[in-house]
Structure formats: C-alpha cells, structure tokens
Amino acid sequence: MSIPYDWNDIVVSAIVPVYNEATTVKVVVERLQEVPLHVEIVAINDGSSDGTGKVLDALREQGLINKVIHHPENKGKGAAVRAGIHAATGHVIVVQDADLEYDPSDLPTLLDPIRLDKADAVYGSRFHGGPRRVLFFWHSIGNRFLTLLSNMLTDLNLSDMETCYKMVRADLLKSLPLVSNRFGIEVEVTARLAQAKARIWELPISYSGRTYAEGKKIDWRDGVAALWHILRFNLLPPRRKRAR
C-alpha cells in the first residue's frame, strides 16, 4: 500500500524518547529541524531528573518541538516509544534517540523506499558499510548474535535488528500490538512487522556510538533480556482482545 500523498506532502513523525539527556536533546532537535523533510517532532520526557523536561518545554515554546509528553516516572524506552506512536500524526514514523548516536541527515534516504512504494518499513543498519565510530567489540558480537537469533525466527535477513532507526508507515506501526516497556521494543517491532508480512528494506547509516562515560545506558542485562524478548514475541502470538 503506497502513501496516497504527494512526496512534498509526506509528514515524518520523529519520536524522541528522552531520559536524562538535557545536554544533548537540544542539538538533536536542531538537527531534526535541518532535515529537508516535513518533520513532526514528538518528544517524550521519560521521568528525567536532570532538567530535561524544562529543556523540552522551552523548545516547545520556541516552536522547535511539536508535542511534549511528560512521564512522571521512568517507564522505559518502550513505554516512551509507544506513547509517541499514539501521539504521532504523520504518515511515517521513526524513532530518534536523543543521545547524538544517530544522524538525522540519514532520514531522507531511509524514506525513499517507502515513498517509492517499495517498502512498508526501512531499517537503518549500522553494519552495512556506513561510517561509524569504532567502539566495543563485544557489543557488536552481542548485537550480531541477537540479530541472528531474531532472523532465525522471523525468517528475515537483517544485519542490524537492534537499530534505533526503524522507519515505518504510520498506519502499519499504529496497528501493531506493541506492549514492551524497555529496550525489548526493538525486538518486538521487528517480530510484529515480520508477522504482519511487511515489506522491509535495509540501508546503511552513519553511527557515532557513545561510551559509558559519555552516558550510554544499555548494558549486558538488556542483552540478556533481549534473548527472552526474541523468544517471547516470535513464538507467542499477541493476545487478542475478547469481544464484549
């Protein structure tokens, strides 16, 4: 199903989940504003304690952010993403982390297969040849293992299942029965897209990963949890709501 709008009318909703990123979120928003697309920015303050909420409200007052959602306590990335999906009004949705690891200048390239009606979802791969900062060996091994396991159960041939940059048609993404609260959202979206028989493309993106000293939050425990999520979301079908 192609988007029934002219290329120049397509609105991309960029969901920005934010937890204690007061020093970087303004730069991310400014970079999103520079993208040559119609971008709706929906920011979710996920219970930050470092003044992030005030920064987001100020950016909203300046007209740089379209919507700000405040969670009174930290619920996790998945919960923030789900809130953003619900609030987004664009034709296409993508998650933009607030930590400067992903470059919004890649978004027009990711949109192209959807615009041309070749894809329902486009993944930006950090391992497909784009420029990237050299960092942790074991992180890359863990990521590739999780991607391999996910591919075995979804029958996809992705190179980077855990990428933040998953650009999806809004009508499709809003129809998926997503329930994850934490980083399992990456696994869940992939499983549900595969179950929906979505047409998925993968394109290289640039990546500037952070060190833990620079504020990286994901750790080995999230990797272990991802193993369970891969089995859970691929082998257990989503619960259907009972008819009243």
DSSP character string of 152-198: HHHT---S-TT-S-EEEEHHHHHHS-----STTHHHHHHHHHHHTT-
- How many Å apart are CA 218 and CA 186, to the nearest integer? 13
The reported pLDDT for the residue numbered 157 is 95
Closest C-alpha to 165, from 221, 237, 241, 107: 107
Place of tokens 């993403």: 81
H helix intervals, 88-155: 107-115, 137-154
The reported pLDDT for the residue numbered 86 is 98
Ranges of residues in the chain whose predicted pLDDT is under 50 = 1-2, 133-135, 210-216, 241-244
The reported pLDDT for the residue numbered 209 is 58
Q: Which domains does the chain possess?
A: 10-235 (3.90.550.10)
Per-residue model confidence as pLDDT tens digits over 149-176: 999 999 999 999 999 999 999 999 999 9
- How many Å apart are CA 234 and CA 54, to the nearest integer? 39
Radius of gyration for the alpha carbons in the chain, expressed in angstroms and rounded: 17
Q: Are 209 and 193 in contact (CB under 8 A)?
A: no
Per-residue model confidence as pLDDT tens digits over 220-235: 566 677 778 888 899 8
| DSSP, res 34 | H
The reported pLDDT for the residue numbered 236 is 80
Task: Report helix angle 137-154 to 220-235, nearest 10.
Answer: 0
